[in-house]
Structures are given as structure tokens and as C-alpha cells.
Amino acid sequence: MTYDMKGMRAGAVLALGLTCMAGFAGAQEFRLGTIVPPGHLWNVYGEKMGEALSARTEGRMSVTVFPAGQLGDEGQMVQQLQSGALDMAFLTMADVSNRVPEFSALFTPFLVSDVAQAAVVLNSEPAQALLDKLPEAMGVVGIDFGVAGMRQMISAKPVASFESLRGLKMRITPFAPARDFYNVLGIAPTPMPLPDVFDALSNGQVDAADVDLEQVLIFRFDEAAPNLLISNHMMFPMVGVVSGRVWAGLAAEDQAILREEMDKVLGEMIEEYARVETERVAKVTEMVPGLQTVGQDFFPGVVEKWEASWADHLPLINELRAIAAAAPQ
């Protein structure tokens, strides 16, 4: 993205109307919350940001990462960000897209085929412009997007054809774009936070789960559900945010340092997801007996039906599609 676009976002932050406290020259010990478990790349890159900030400011700025929802679920973290009790977070779009439905366009099925293409879409002007909505809608400053891996489906029973998915209970991340993807396919979406998925697959509460390969490798979902459909049906952007109140209390030069360092690690995170994608497919191919790779044609009519249910956002969806189509394949 260009620096100008970030400058425009800084303008949107001013519109928060928060009283700007005097710049604070003392030590800044930032707390960053995530819902993902230790070892997950979001936490790894949160730590890297802390190291970079400490090095750049000779220890004046530091970051402690609180993984695995230690500070609460994302709804609770957003409340803490709003009150200033939490400084920053790496958030999924679950809560964000409930508050700003335009973000849902990023979850258009089969918009991109891999993380490298996702990076092009997320760095584009229409995607970056979505971040400008966060100060007013949520009281947070959206620094930039990161990602997790592309979405796949893991199931207890083999999936011989699309028909064998119909009527199954499919765990989803609790948000509307994923819900509608399965609704239009006649598969029963079952919203469920990540930490509950292994048990739900083991005890039959759900038949299958919408997941990514990093989760399969960390949580070993394959031990409960040994069939994996590599479908790459959606990308999974996340957003790095800073509390609007905390931001307003920072001196302009510290805002610039924080923006640059968070932006940098989020970019590096996306590059790493793109780099390890093929390696992860190779790993799960060795681990998971019932693995098959399918394309968009496995899910008849899903894109048209999903887009019909998100018709209000079609101009943005079409813009993003044009950007994805022009990206290197």
C-alpha cells in the first residue's frame, strides 16, 4: 500500500473526536491480545513486533502478547480496546464484520486461489479503505491486514461428492459470510470458537469443521476427523488494531513508530503464510489419510447464490474480483 493511503487513515483517526492527551515520553508497555494458541503465527509476529519496537526505541516501547483468549474472547477484547484497558489486538473479522458488514466482501467465496493472491487484494485501495471505517465504527485504529491460511473442510466421514456434505453439521467461525456460504449449500453451519472444535469433532457435536491447515497441524483435528477437503474456498484476513484511546494518548512520533512496526510485521506475516502454504499441504498430505483436493466446481452455484445474498456489497465484491483476476496466478 502507499504511504498516502496510511496518511488518509490517520485523518480518519482524528475523526474519532477523542481528546488527545499530552504525548507520553515514559515507557510504553503495550498489551496485545489474540485468540489463537501459543505457537500460532499471529503470536509469533506479535512477539516480533515487540522485539522490533524495543530495539528501535531502546526499550522505551515493549509488547507483551496474551494468546489463546487469555484476556477474553474477541467481543470482550474489543470492549477492552474501546475503554483503553487493552492496547492492541490481532483480530479475526468475526466481530469486525458484524460491526462493519462491508468487510464481509473480503470473504467472497473463491475470490482468491491462494495467500499470495489474498495479499494483492488486501493491499489494494478498496480493501485498505475499509480500515478507515474502524475508528468511528469500533473505536480502534486499523493499522493493516494480516491473514491466516486459506479455508478448508475437515470431516469425520469421507466426502465422496458434494451431495455427501449436504445436511452435515459444519463448524464455522462465528460470522455471517461463512454462515451464508454453508447455508446456500444446504450444509448446516454451526458457529463455534476455535478452542471447542477438537472436542466437538470427537464427540459428534459436529460432523465437520471449516478450518485452515495451521489449525490442523496445531490442534491435530485429523485425529478426530481423518478426512480433509482442500478446497481453498475463502481467504481469512485478520486485522491488527490499536485502541483509539491509547492511540490518542501517544505522541505523533510514537504513533508513527507503532504504525510502521505493526504494519511491517503484518506484511511479513502474510509473506510467511504465502511461503509455507505448499509445505503445509505436503505435511497434511502425509498425515491425513482421506485427503482430496477440489475446486470451485465441487460446490455447484455457490458463488452466485452467496453473492445474491450479499447483493448490497456487489460493487465492492466486483472491484475486488477485478483486482484478484489481475494478480499473478
Cα–Cα distance for residue pair 39/186, rounded to 1 Å: 35
Cα–Cα distance for residue pair 324/105, rounded to 1 Å: 13
Query: For residues 59 and 75, which CB has a smaller minimum distance to ligand BEZ in the complex?
Result: 75
Q: Which of 16, 32, 36, 235 binds ligand BEZ (CB under 6 A)?
A: 36
State yes or no: residue 35 binds ligand BEZ (CB under 6 A): yes
# binding residues, ligand BEZ (CB under 6 A):
9
Run of H or E residues at 211:
strand 208-211
State yes or no: residue 41 binds ligand BEZ (CB under 6 A): no
Judge contact between 143 and 241, C-beta under 8 A. Answer: yes
Cα–Cα distance for residue pair 246/249, rounded to 1 Å: 5
Read off the amino acid at residue 210.
D
**Residue 291 pairs with which residues in a beta bridge?**
228
Q: How far apart are the first and last CA of the chain?
A: 20
* Residue least distant from ligand BEZ (Cβ): 173
Cα–Cα distance for residue pair 39/146, rounded to 1 Å: 16
Query: For residues 212 and 307, which CB has a smaller minimum distance to ligand BEZ in the complex?
Result: 212
Q: Which of 92, 117, 231, 243 binds ligand BEZ (CB under 6 A)?
A: 92
State yes or no: residue 77 binds ligand BEZ (CB under 6 A): no
The minimum distance between CB 19 and ligand BEZ, in angstroms, equals 34
What is the footprint of ligand BEZ within residues 175-214 (CB under 6 A)?
A: 194, 211-212
State yes or no: residue 173 binds ligand BEZ (CB under 6 A): yes
What is the footprint of ligand BEZ within residues 295-324 (CB under 6 A)?
A: none
Other Cβ atoms less than 10 A from the Cβ of 128: the count is 19
What is the footprint of ligand BEZ within residues 271-290 (CB under 6 A)?
A: none
Residue 172 cell numbers, joined: 464455522
Would you tell me which residues interact with ligand BEZ (CB under 6 A)?
A: 35-36, 92, 148, 173, 194, 211-212, 236
